[in-house]
Amino acid sequence: MRIARVVGTAVSTVKEASLVGHKLLLVRETDEHNEVLGPVFVAVDVVGVGPDELVLVSEGSAARHAATTTGQPVDAVIMGVLDSLEVGGTVTFRRV
């Protein structure tokens, strides 16, 4: 899973029927220090996250294996909110 930061939201009215009701968030991959590594992409939120949270994103077919995404045409889902990250004995990120 990739570490990503929630940076915004996307709105889409005309869309595949099975996507209706999902919250579409804009996220960017980050490293263990919450530094951005890559471009914005869209992930479905199934856990209820807030702005600027660091989250865990599952991609590919894994994205269809959350309780509320079964069989849906999604390829990136936020599966968890990150509380802390620790590398080599040092806490590099802590949720505030």
**Which of 29, 3, 19, 34 is CA-nearest to residue 68?**
19
CB 28 within 8 A of CB 36: yes
> Applying CB under 8 A, does 23 fall inside the site for its own copies?
no
> Applying CB under 8 A, does 96 fall inside the site for its own copies?
no
Q: Three-state DSSP class for 82?
A: coil
Minimum Å gap between C-beta 96 and its own copies is 14
> Applying CB under 8 A, does 21 fall inside the site for its own copies?
no
Site residues for its own copies, window 50-69 (CB under 8 A)? Answer: 56, 58-67, 69
Residue 74 exposure: Cα atoms within 13 Å on the Cβ side: 31
**Which of 25, 23, 28 is CA-nearest to residue 2?**
28
CB closer to its own copies, 59 vs 96: 59
Site residues for its own copies, window 31-50 (CB under 8 A)? Answer: 31-32, 37, 39-43, 46-49
Q: Cα(35)–Cα(62) distance, rounded to whole angstroms?
A: 25
Residues making contact with its own copies (CB under 8 A): 1-3, 7-19, 24, 26, 29, 31-32, 37, 39-43, 46-49, 56, 58-67, 69, 71-77, 79-88, 92
